[in-house]
Amino acid sequence: MIEIFFFAHLQEVMGKQKLSAPLANQCVADVKKWLMIEYPLMSLAQVMSAVNEEFATDDTIVKEGDTIAFIPPISGG
């Protein structure tokens, strides 16, 4: 199992801050695809990803017990 954390509007779309999923040994891109299938309102096209609090790319592998966070772009003025 891995823990998936959501920030900003992604948290609102999900209705929760985190969830657990059986996606160990998958790459970040595969986790995104799974989320968009399971939660059709989820859009992860422009988000940053972090695995174990380190920024990650779509080809980063998520291992058993890891945490992955999806962080949307934030604008302000």
Domain annotation covers residue 64 = yes
Indicate the number of domains in the chain.
1
pLDDT score for 76: 57
- The identity of residue 61, as a single letter, is I
Structure confidence by residue, pLDDT tens digits, 31-75: 999 999 999 988 898 899 999 999 999 999 999 999 999 998 875
Domain annotation covers residue 21 = yes
pLDDT score for 5: 97
State pTM to two decimals: 0.89
pLDDT score for 45: 85
The enclosing domain of 43 has a CATH number of: 3.10.20.30
d(CA 21, CA 29): 15
pLDDT score for 75: 59
**Structural domain boundaries enclosing 55:** 2-71
Domain annotation covers residue 76 = no
Domain annotation covers residue 77 = no
